[in-house]
Structure 1
């Protein structure tokens, strides 16, 4: 029979999970680079505890779906409501309108437990960096609560029929795990955020609760060794996995199995009794939920206010603040509301639901009012100009591909008499040049062929590991050059790969061999700002009280100049032409923050990609290298 007593070791396991997540988020380059697997441990714990309660109530005919969700509300809502409202208040003072509007949407999706769908939809090349999304971590709450919409019903239908339960568990669990593995390699965002690719982790905990309740595990004589093995499977991935490893996939089975082993070993196993049940581990585990909720907004706002590069001291202060807020939240809010000595559970549930509805409504209001733009009505247009439609300008999904798909026929314009053919090849930075070339086309007799792919620098001679899509895209572009014999091939990217010199030299040789009469223009990287440029301008306005200068030094222009000189030697030695972006966009005092013709606009909407107007500015200065005829 399932124990009904409190399991202190499970609170200790929560400590391992939450500390792994916090250490990863706070210090992503630390030994805990795989600490994100703490979320998977949480899923197993949740599945085990909730299923244990459901089975006990269903087998004693005391189960009530209303009482089930009442418990969920009293457990989840108090701290979540407080965090959602607090994040909204702080964001009012710190965020730009576009950022605050996005936060409003995320508050609403968090309140509706659909954050995983919101972030899944946003995932892509144009997505804001995770460090600047204060509520990104709520995706896991969405997955969990969506699971508990269907799981109680599946249990109710199958728990009294063991064979049917096992069939349901095998079919749904294996399907979910298979989807996770497949999507991890084909659609990573779906694998990470989609509920069906994570359900198997919660079901693993549920299956464990079922088998323990029916006394069919038979591991009593191995409990201590199994607990140590489980601890290893939970801790090793935290230390071994890279921060950008493909995940979840099959690798997620390690912490899931490890957590299941620790729980199955029981509270009397040596590791569980001595380590997990210790006062320190048990105490941190009790506040693990508010710790999880508070840590990421504090770290995100720290990144936002510190140019994305907060000092170690300030990160440590944020962690201390996280613990202080979590302790206060647990003792002053969570514990009183969940205390059985307080009557009126229905009223408390109603009150919490009402507050959550208010939080959701406020988030929707912020989103629909464009991030309360009136806060900056006087300065926002002057600072940034009208926000461009980057996806339309770059022809995303047609001639700039983010994932494996097919280029549109429009990427190669129809032949126009003796018009010169300009072949644009590179990554997203190359795609950002298209509006500039399109503007130049209005004055010059040229046709543009754009074949640009996300994250793919133009190295057709290299086979890059973990970039199969890029390798294929570059091979196909090489075939297009051979077929088109363009007048000019433009190569542009950030040139970040450490093999850039070798890759570029090979690319120039291969293009010359495939299309001997083509000119090759290599454009050096544009400067990368220390933070997103709109945020830099906003902070400077706040601190200086006036519109910032048109040229600012908050970027890596000096590094790009050094890179330019290395690439220039290679390009010239191979008979190509090299043009420096920083030579056009930067001066001694800094780099261009906005352009004024043909219309005022900021030079970058993020930390490095040129806006359409900035691209027109750059291409206009390079026009003599692009077209032969005078303009």
Structure 2
């Protein structure tokens, strides 16, 4: 397939928007729509690849999925292993067990379902931040790959032209998906945000651009690109997390990305093809993988949000880690990894995740790996202090009102109590 620099530049815009949103940069409150752009790009590219293979009578659903696995899994596995190793030094047993479960779910491409249990959903996670939260989108993408491969296998003949039944099913799925998104988002926003059913139409818009539209004239390209840019930038700068998403609000960034891909030529495409955007586009997948864990690692160890200078350094660290991942993980596995070898490594990695989860479950999170003061904290959270009610009494034994005490930190009640239990040992 022809390499399109404009699409690579669009990838860069998408990942920049997501990173700046996560880092809390002003005016990028809607940067989360970058994920929608990724979905449209994926739908366009996988449909273009499958369509060409079908026309050549060389399409294989199994090989198609192996190629997708080769693209996504190795870098994701390295990230998950790195997060588990890093957290082993100071995560309390309960949190560490949770992280390993999340890592296993991410490697199984089902983390979007696992994270539905988090209180409040993506925009309002619970009091224990999830260092692998961003892997939900990879799960949605992979689930769509499986459905798309099956659709091609059974309803797309070797000629490359879909049967009427195939087109009817495709249209039915698309209409059902956007309808579900529109009506389900106000009712259950976390479910609508995380699950494929309300996201599939975004991929399908990219699919329609790939094979369902004639190529526009050059003058039309410029006009479409301007309109598409306006839609996309509107989503990035005008949206925020206070309104339910996706629903109807996803239409603007999805349509904007589709118009930019469809235009493919003109001055906007030239801007997207500039060298800085090409560099970021090349490493965009690894940037997406690494930027969030690096930010959360800083927050968890320092205890505050980064300053502007620290933010710049963290973003630079994310780009550095992504560049190394691109050079030493993504590129080699794309060139040399055989399908069977890759599948075997994937199965072994996932099996190791299940085994490690079982070990953590049987050993209560391997508390022996922690220094003593964290062991005390873990025990305090597990075994409530039986004298905790005395904290509400004055020195003369009279009961204080509930408002007359000092609260430290942002953790749960048990978390606060555990801190006092630990530090009283030194008094």
Change (3 A) 1:71 1:302: same
- Residue number in structure 2 paired with 1:139: 136
Residues 39-50 of structure 1 correspond to what in structure 2 (within 5 A)?
39-50=35-46
What is the RMSD of the two structures over their aligned residues, measured on CA atoms? 3.1
Residues 212-231 of structure 1 correspond to what in structure 2 (within 5 A)?
212=213, 216=214, 218=216, 221-231=219-229
- Residue number in structure 1 paired with 2:174: 173
Q: 3-state SS of the aligned residue for 1:53? A: helix
Are 1:269 and 2:271 counterparts? no
TM-score (norm 1): 0.59
**What is the CA distance between 1:362 and its match in structure 2?**
3.1
What are structure 2's unaligned runs of at least 5 residues? Answer: 390-400
Are 1:206 and 2:221 counterparts? no
- Residue number in structure 2 paired with 1:245: 243
Q: Distance in 1 between matches of 2:411 and 2:38?
A: 33
Q: 3-state SS of the aligned residue for 2:3? A: coil
Higher relative contact order (CA 8 A, sep 6+): 2
Q: 3-state SS of the aligned residue for 1:94? A: coil
Q: Distance in 2 between matches of 1:536 and 1:301?
A: 21
- Residue number in structure 2 paired with 1:233: 231
- Residue number in structure 2 paired with 1:192: 193
Q: Is the 8 A contact 2:178 2:201 kept in 1?
A: yes
Change (3 A) 1:227 1:306: same
Q: Is the 8 A contact 1:169 1:207 kept in 2?
A: no
Q: Is the 8 A contact 2:21 2:29 kept in 1?
A: yes
Residues 514-529 of structure 1 correspond to what in structure 2 (within 5 A)?
529=408
* Aligned with residue 380 of structure 2, among 369, 377, 385: 385
Q: Distance in 2 between matches of 1:379 and 1:343?
A: 45
**What is the CA distance between 1:524 and its match in structure 2?**
5.0
Q: Distance in 2 between matches of 1:368 and 1:178?
A: 45
**What is the CA distance between 1:246 and its match in structure 2?**
1.5
- Residue number in structure 2 paired with 1:347: 341
Q: 3-state SS of the aligned residue for 2:27? A: coil
Q: Is the 8 A contact 2:218 2:266 kept in 1?
A: no
Q: Is the 8 A contact 1:132 1:301 kept in 2?
A: no
- Residue number in structure 1 paired with 2:396: none
* Aligned with residue 311 of structure 2, among 305, 308, 315: 315
Q: Is the 8 A contact 2:65 2:145 kept in 1?
A: no
Structure ID, larger Rg: 1
**What is the CA distance between 1:170 and its match in structure 2?**
2.5
**What is the CA distance between 1:368 and its match in structure 2?**
5.4
**What is the CA distance between 1:310 and its match in structure 2?**
3.2
Q: Answer 1 or 2: which has greater strand percent.
A: 1
Q: Is the 8 A contact 2:192 2:246 kept in 1?
A: yes
- Residue number in structure 1 paired with 2:409: 530
TM-score (norm 2): 0.85
Q: Distance in 1 between matches of 2:162 and 2:115?
A: 38
* Count of aligned pairs: 405
**What is the CA distance between 1:180 and its match in structure 2?**
1.2
Q: Distance in 2 between matches of 1:310 and 1:218?
A: 46
Are 1:101 and 2:102 counterparts? no
Q: Distance in 2 between matches of 1:298 and 1:312?
A: 15
Q: Distance in 2 between matches of 1:550 and 1:235?
A: 55
**What is the CA distance between 1:301 and its match in structure 2?**
1.3
Are 1:301 and 2:297 counterparts? yes
